[in-house]
Each structure stands twice: as C-alpha cells, then as structure tokens.
C-alpha cells in the first residue's frame, strides 16, 4: 500500500521538480547581476532599484555562501550548465555542434554523458521532469481546457508522431550542410532558458520568445502538446535514446477496470489502457497518479507488454467472461 | 547609372550599439583632463554630448551622433557623422546627403534635409522636427561609384519605458497560471470529459 | 525593428554589422560560429557584464552568439568566460599576462589622430592609464600621444575610457582586419 501511495505522489513531485528548475532559471540571471554589483564594489553608486536587487540577493545568498564569487558554482540553463566543476549539456547540443563543425569534440561530448545514460535508462524523462518548456506547456494544456469551458474550440487535430524525427534529421542535415546552428534556435528548453536570462539580465526578450508563444498558441488551438509530440527535435532524440529504456510503466491487467482515466490524462496522447506506451512515454506518472485501481506501475524491463486485452475488472471483460464463469460454476456445482 | 556587380545597394542598419555618451543627462562622473571636460554643451563644438550609434558597412566605420541626446519636436538639433575607412582609418571626403524617413508603420514619407561637405573631419547636419515620432536618418554617399545608404534610428519625443513584448508575455503567463489556479482539481475531470467527447 | 537584407557583394563578403568583439580567447570567427552552442553561460559568468547576445537582426548565424561592444563596457580580461564555455568556442586562457598576450586576439586598437587630444596638442593619456598592459600593448610619446603596439589584445579598455566623443581610439576587431 505504501508503495502505491508513493507512486501516486510522484506526479506532484515531478511538478515540484519542474518548478524548481524554472525557479533556478529565474534565480541565476539575478545572481549574475548581483555578482556584478559585488565585483564592482560600488554599492553606493547603485540606484534604488539596483540596491533593492542587491539587498534581496544578499539576503537570499548569505546563508549559503561566504563570498558572492562562490555563486559561480551554479551557472547555465538546461541546454548547458556547470554545477561545481562539472559541465553538463543537452545531448541535442552535442549533435548540433558536431554537425555544424563537422568534427567531434570528445570533451564536450562527455558533458552530455549523464543525460545520455539517464535517457537510455529512463527514456524521455528530461521532457517530463526537467524541461522548462514542459511546465509552461502543461499549464497551457489546462488553460486550454479552461478556454474550452468558455466555449472556445481547442485541440482540434492529431498528426503523426514520426514528424519530429523528420525534424531532427532534417535539422541535423541542414546544420551539417550550412554550418548554421538552427537546432538551438527552435528547441524550446534552450529558448526558454536563454530568454529568461535576456529579459532579466539584458534588455528584453528576443524574437525567439515570439516563436515560443506561437508554439503555446498552436498547442492550445491545434493539437495538445503539439510541439512536444510532433516537432521537438530534442524530444525526438530522447525518444530514440529511450526506445529500450529499462524504467517503464506497465499495466496490471487483473485490477484494471477500463475506466480510461489514464488515456484521458496522458499529455502525449499515449494509450496506457491499451498497453501502448512506446518510446515516447516520458515517465511523467500522471497516469499512475490518476488510476483509481493502482493498476499502473513502474517495472524494470526493456520492452512494453503486448496488448493484454481489456482490464479484468472492466465491463467488457466481465461481460465476455460471465458465461464462462457461470458455466464453470454450474459444472462445479453439478459435480 | 547601372549598378556595377560588386556593389552595396540599399543598406538599412538596425539599431546598433547605442552609446549614451550624453553625460549631462545623468549623474555620471566624467573624466577630466587638466580640469577641463573634453566635451562641451555647445552644439557647435566638435564633440557635443549626444546619443551615438556606430556601425560597420562595407569598407567603413560610420559613427552617428545626435545632439541633443533626446530631441524633442520644434527643438533644433544637430547630427554629426564620422566616416572612416576600416583599413587605415582614412576619412571619407566626398559629400554626404542626409534624408529623413518616417519610420511609422504604413508610412513612406521621406525628404532630403541637406547635403554636407566634410568639415574638420565631421559631417554636420542640423534638423528641426515638427512632430514627435520615430524616424530614420539616412546618410547617403558614394565611394568609388559604390553607393552607401545607411539608416539610423531617431526618436523625437518621449520614449515609452514599457516594452510591449515583455508586457504581452507577462500578461500571457499571468493568464495561464491564473487559469490553472482557477481550474484546479477539476482539470483531471475536464480532461476526462474532453477525452470521452473526442472518442464519440 | 528593420530587417537587414544580407546581400553579399561579389568576392568580398560585405557584412552589415555593428563593430563588435568576441569574448577573449575565442576561436577565429568562422570556427567560433560552428563551435558556439548559444548556451549563454559566458555572459552569465562575466563579472563585468560586458557580454551581450545578438538578436535576429544580424542573421540566423549570429543569433544568440556573444559579443562585446567596448565603448559600452570593455572586457577586463578576467578570463572566466573561457573557463565556463563547454565547447571551447572560447578557449580557456590562464589569467597571466604572458598567456593572455599569447592567446587573446579580440582585435587591435587604433588611434584616430584627428580626434585624439594628445595629437591636437592637449596632453591626455587616459587610454594609456586605462590599459591593463601598459608599455606592452600601448606606449605614450610626447604629450602622452598613444601608440598602439603589436601585442595589443583588443580588450577595449582604452576605447571605453577615451574622453573624446566619439572616441579617438577604437578597437578594430580581429575578424574585420583584412590581411
């Protein structure tokens, strides 16, 4: 029972994790400004807004570090970051950079090793648990439902999930041929990370924000999580890496009651009730949290189960098997 | 005149590095050499306090300065233009024609404000605008039959401190987060109902 | 914002751009553009906040790449950007004079004798005093007339400090020097 309670909490923890990443992305540019003020040793020359920022940052960081220079320990975004002495980068950055320069930089590739291994083990988990765009897209899905309640038509279409693999391949090819770094320009987590820095520490948003807002609007009016499902090159890469992931969600058919809550809540339009998870599942555990029968669980196995048929607690199975049960009962009664 | 093949035609320059060199408009400490500031407030001096924009086009570095830094309508102002070659810093010597273009949407008003010779290394052009608004100052000159047209932004009147894109995004974020708080727990139920409806 | 038509002339590629420097220790421009992953960490770690990022105005190839405008804020050669760059688009350089002189080439300063006060008989010398490598990168002659030397790394502190408007000494970026 405790295990089930824990599993059901994972979705909330995931939202905390996503929020934490987002808050860090907001905190870091402020820290950069604060470090500039402290390095300049010019508190008296600051104007009142700058002094306010300084004072707030000082209050926040004083318990953590002796010297503001130590705040250099955490820098960057989910695209590429440095934590202490360790650099960590998005595998898509390695793909993009090696295609553009047509050369292989081992020391840079190694910075993507941890995300690579985690994706091989747990699949598209970056998309579910870390990506800052995910937080905005998920909130946007609920916003779309809110609009729907007001009568606005939403989520009209579905497309082919394989489209994003084409985007990944085409993007890589164009990068190779032209040397232009187009993938970081269209990849939402890189965009969100950079734009938050630009609006806080530089003089405002760039055109990429308009692009991101358009993807939000497309998500609302065209297809649920449209960019993540059909266009994101990073999502495509993570899905490929996670094809044989070990950490999977699977359905326990004996307690499943075919209620379809899991199918309805899946942001990526997967079908847990039909045992269809596939390489696209980002282990977000929303389906686990919503299942009233606790029939969805994590398992360590490299492949999905083949379709197990209707849930045994569900109407379809019971109806199909009532005859059999009755026949069995008669047989055992009669002798 | 037919355009020769290796030419630079219309050059429209976006806002480049805008250096607020105008020290009298904010309390910043000026360098003083021998107790005397290098600039003077007189618009006739070579180095008036102003807004400056710099660019690099073709073979030239072009620096454009406006005095005063924040001009207003009906207030006379001056443009100082410096054109130097990239390679050796030689000064460009021929005439430069200044035009002003209305930069508002759906407007293509433009007029020539003057043609200037070089004067002590500077091209000086006076102006008086009748109305506030966003304008472009175009400097036109030709070097070895290659025409250059360089546009610099000039805002007459007050700047709006609030940026429309930032406001839009913040409003959008506020709406999205707000609607999430309003829909709350009912989100799951709403998704379920929406799914059922899309199935039938 | 005005869109910039990128029309290249015949044999010489004429870029319309602002005069900018790349961070210290950067690879040469062509290699830099394919090594930089547009992560933004160099600007974030810069304690002087002199690193800015291109928008879309300069084209897709430049978007989100770092640059410095020395007249606005010059580089103090703290070399933190090279340490944090994950791909080596900005090479790490030790913060010692001989390493910086050998490995940093942001550009070279050039004095405009028509504007420089010292060449007008007025004795300035501010740029010399601002230089982090005085007598190595820049020396002064009579009336504090500045003469830029070969070992100038192009940090732009001289340009930033010049009291003339427009500045009488400016850094010619490494990527625009022809020949």
pLDDT by 10s per residue, chain B, length 200: 443 433 333 344 433 444 444 333 333 333 333 333 344 445 455 555 567 788 888 888 998 888 887 888 888 888 889 999 988 888 998 999 999 888 777 777 888 888 889 888 889 999 998 888 888 888 888 888 888 888 888 888 876 767 788 889 999 999 999 998 888 778 888 888 888 887 76
Residues A254 and A230 in one domain: no
What is the domain-level CATH number for residue A293?
Answer: 3.30.70
The secondary structure element, H or E, covering residue B150 is strand B146-156
Three-state DSSP at A7 gives helix
pLDDT tens profile A63-88:
999 999 999 999 999 999 999 999 99
Q: How many angstroms separate the CA of residue A261 from the nearest CA in chain C? A: 39
Residues A180 and A260 in one domain: no
Could you write out the three-class secondary structure of A151-203?
CCCCCCCCCCCCHHHHHHHHHHHHHHHHCCCCHHHHCHHHHHHHHHHHHHHCC
Q: Is the pTM of this model over 0.90?
A: no
A72/C45 Cβ within 8 A: yes
Q: Tell whether A19 is covered by a domain.
A: no
Q: What is the pLDDT of residue B66?
A: 87
Q: What is the pLDDT of residue C103?
A: 96
Closest CA to A126 of A304, A19, A283: A283
Q: How many angstroms separate the CA of residue C84 from the nearest CA in chain A? A: 7
Residues A255 and A115 in one domain: no
Average pLDDT over residues C159-167: 89
* Cα A2 off chain centre by: 26
B192/A142 Cβ within 8 A: no
Comparing A295 with A5, the larger pLDDT belongs to: A295
Q: What is the pLDDT of residue A258?
A: 92
In this prediction the ipTM stands at 0.89
Q: Is the pLDDT of residue C1 over 70?
A: no
Of the candidate ranges A24-28, A159-163, A331-335, the one whose mean pLDDT is the lowest: A331-335
Q: Tell whether A110 is covered by a domain.
A: yes
Which of the four CATH numbers 3.30.420.40, 2.60.40.3340, 1.10.1200.10, 3.40.605.10 does domain B17-156 have?
Answer: 2.60.40.3340
Q: Which of A239, A259, A294 is the last residue of a domain?
A: A239
pLDDT tens profile A118-158:
999 999 999 999 999 999 999 999 999 888 888 888 877 88
Q: How far is the C-alpha of C86 from the C-alpha of C107, rounded, in Å?
A: 23
Q: How far is the C-alpha of A60 from the C-alpha of A164, rounded, in Å?
A: 41
pLDDT tens profile B37-56:
344 445 455 555 567 788 88
Q: Tell whether A46 is covered by a domain.
A: no
B5: nearest CB among C10, C57, C122? C10
Q: How far is the C-alpha of B68 from the C-alpha of B90, rounded, in Å?
A: 27
* Cα C153 off chain centre by: 8
Q: How many angstroms separate the CA of residue B162 from the nearest CA in chain A? A: 11
Q: Tell whether A106 is covered by a domain.
A: yes
Residues A234 and A112 in one domain: yes
For the sheet with B96-102, list strands across it: B110-116, B96-102, B133-143, B146-156
Q: How many angstroms separate the CA of residue A46 from the nearest CA in chain C? A: 15
Residues A209 and A303 in one domain: no
The number of distinct structural domains making up chain A is 2
Q: Which of C41, C50, C60, C62 to mutate to test the interface with A (most CBs of A within 10 A)?
A: C41
Q: What is the pLDDT of residue A68?
A: 93
pLDDT tens profile B159-180:
676 778 888 999 999 999 999 8
- Give me the count of residues in chain A: 335
The reply to whether A213 touches chain B by the CB within 8 Å rule is yes
Indicate the DSSP class of residue B4.
Answer: P
Q: Tell whether C115 is covered by a domain.
A: yes
Closest CA to C31 of B20, A100, B164: A100
Q: Tell whether A76 is covered by a domain.
A: no
Q: Which of A239, A274, A305 is the last residue of a domain?
A: A239
Q: How many helices (H) and strands (E) does chain C have?
A: 6, 6
Q: Tell whether A250 is covered by a domain.
A: yes
Range of the domain at C34: 29-176
The reply to whether C72 touches chain B by the CB within 8 Å rule is yes
CB C133 within 8 A of CB C127: no
Domain residue spans in chain B?
A: 17-156, 164-199
Closest CA to A70 of A34, A20, A120, A44: A34
Q: What is the pLDDT of residue B49?
A: 55
C36/A185 Cβ within 8 A: no
Closest CA to C23 of C55, C7, C47: C47
Residues A99 and A235 in one domain: yes
Q: Is the pLDDT of residue A22 over 50?
A: yes
Nearest residue on chain A to C31, alpha-carbon basis: A101
Q: What is the pLDDT of residue B165?
A: 85
C33/A193 Cβ within 8 A: no
The reply to whether C110 touches chain B by the CB within 8 Å rule is yes
Range of the domain at A256: 246-326
The tokens of A240 are what?
């490929």
Q: How far is the C-alpha of A38 from the C-alpha of A30, rounded, in Å?
A: 12
Q: What is the pLDDT of residue B200?
A: 65
User: Could you tell me where the DSSP H helices lie in chain A?
Assistant: 2-40, 48-61, 91-101, 106-110, 113-122, 125-129, 132-149, 163-178, 183-186, 188-201, 207-221, 226, 233-241, 261-265, 286-290, 315-334
The number of distinct structural domains making up chain C is 1
pLDDT band at residue A234, thresholds of 50, 70 and 90?
very high
The tokens of B102 are what?
């209305």
> In Å, what is the CA distance from A184 to each residue of A90, A188, A194, B88, C162?
10, 8, 10, 38, 38
Q: What is the pLDDT of residue C178?
A: 60
Q: Tell whether C84 is covered by a domain.
A: yes
Nearest residue on chain A to C56, alpha-carbon basis: A207
The tokens of A68 are what?
């503001």
Q: Is the pLDDT of residue A164 over 70?
A: yes
Q: Tell whether C6 is covered by a domain.
A: no
Indicate the DSSP class of residue C175.
Answer: G
Q: What is the pLDDT of residue C8?
A: 25
Task: Tell me the angle at which helices A163-178 and A233-241 cross, rounded to the nearest 10 degrees.
Answer: 110
* Cα C173 off chain centre by: 6
């Amino acid at each position: 029972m405790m295990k089930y309670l824990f599993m059901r909490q994972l979705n909330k923890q995931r939202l905390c994790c996503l929020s934490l990443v987002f808050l860090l992305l907001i905190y870091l540019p402020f820290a950069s400004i604060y470090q500039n003020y402290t390095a300049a040793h010019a508190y008296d020359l600051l104007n009142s807004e700058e002094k306010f920022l300084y004072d707030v940052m000082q209050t926040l960081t004083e318990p953590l570090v002796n010297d503001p220079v130590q705040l250099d320990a955490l820098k960057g975004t989910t695209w590429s970051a440095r934590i202490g002495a360790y650099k960590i980068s998005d595998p898509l950055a390695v793909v993009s950079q090696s295609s553009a320069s047509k050369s292989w930089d081992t020391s840079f590739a190694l910075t993507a090793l941890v995300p690579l291994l985690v994706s091989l083990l747990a699949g598209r988990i970056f998309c579910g648990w870390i990506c800052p765009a995910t937080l905005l897209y998920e909130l946007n899905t609920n916003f779309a439902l809110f609009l729907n309640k007001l009568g606005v038509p939403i989520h009209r279409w579905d497309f082919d999930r394989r489209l994003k693999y084409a985007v990944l391949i085409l993007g890589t090819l164009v990068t190779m041929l032209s040397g232009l770094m187009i993938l970081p320009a269209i990849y939402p987590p890189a965009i969100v990370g950079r734009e938050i820095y630009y609006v806080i520490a530089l003089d405002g948003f760039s055109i990429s924000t308009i692009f991101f807002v358009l993807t939000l609007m497309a998500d609302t009016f065209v297809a649920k999580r449209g960019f993540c499902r059909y266009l994101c090159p990073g999502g495509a890469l993570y899905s490929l890496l996670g094809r044989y992931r070990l950490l999977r969600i699977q359905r326990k058919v004996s307690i499943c009651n075919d209620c379809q809550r899991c199918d309805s809540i899946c942001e990526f339009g997967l079908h847990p009730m039909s045992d269809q998870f596939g390489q696209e599942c980002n282990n977000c555990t929303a389906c686990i949290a919503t299942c009233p029968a606790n029939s969805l669980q994590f398992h360590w196995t490299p492949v999905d189960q083949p379709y197990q048929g209707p849930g045994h607690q569900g109407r379809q199975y019971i109806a199909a098997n009532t005859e059999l049960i009755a026949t069995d009962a008669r047989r055992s009664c009669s002798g | 005149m037919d355009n020769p093949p290796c030419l630079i035609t219309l050059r429209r320059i976006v806002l480049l590095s805008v250096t607020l060199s105008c020290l009298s408009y904010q309390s910043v400490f000026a360098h003083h050499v021998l107790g005397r500031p290098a600039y003077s407030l007189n618009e006739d001096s070579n180095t008036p306090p102003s807004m400056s924009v710099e660019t690099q086009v073709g073979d030239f570095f072009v620096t454009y300065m406006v005095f005063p830094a924040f001009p207003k309508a009906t207030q006379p102002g001056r443009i100082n233009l410096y054109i130097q070659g990239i390679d050796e810093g030689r000064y460009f010597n021929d005439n430069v024609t200044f035009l002003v273009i209305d930069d508002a949407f759906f407007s293509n008003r433009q007029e020539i404000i003057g043609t200037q010779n070089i004067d002590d290394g500077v091209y000086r052009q006076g102006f008086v605008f009748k109305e506030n608004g966003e304008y472009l100052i175009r400097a036109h000159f030709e070097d070895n039959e290659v025409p250059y047209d360089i546009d610099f932004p000039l805002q007459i009147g007050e700047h709006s401190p609030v940026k429309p894109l930032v406001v839009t995004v913040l409003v959008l974020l506020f709406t999205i987060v707000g609607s999430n708080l309003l829909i709350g727990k009912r989100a799951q139920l709403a998704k379920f109902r929406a799914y059922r409806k899309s199935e039938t | 914002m005005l869109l910039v038509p990128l029309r290249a002339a015949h044999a010489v590629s004429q870029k319309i751009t602002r005069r900018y420097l790349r961070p210290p220790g950067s690879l040469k421009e062509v290699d830099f553009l394919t090594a930089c992953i547009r992560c933004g960490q160099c600007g974030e770690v810069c304690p002087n906040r002199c690193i800015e990022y291109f928008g879309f105005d300069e084209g897709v190839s430049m978007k989100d790449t770092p640059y410095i405008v020395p007249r606005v804020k010059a580089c103090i050669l703290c070399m933190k950007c090279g340490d944090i760059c994950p791909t080596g688009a900005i090479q790490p350089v030790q913060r010692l004079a001989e390493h910086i002189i050998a490995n940093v080439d942001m550009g070279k300063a050039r004095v405009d004798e028509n504007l420089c006060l010292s060449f007008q008989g007025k004795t300035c010398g501010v740029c010399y005093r601002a230089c982090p490598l005085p007598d190595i990168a820049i020396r002064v002659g009579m009336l504090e007339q500045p003469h830029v030397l070969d070992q100038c790394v192009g940090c732009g502190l001289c340009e930033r400090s010049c009291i003339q408007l427009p500045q009488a000494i400016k850094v010619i970026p490494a990527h625009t020097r022809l020949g």
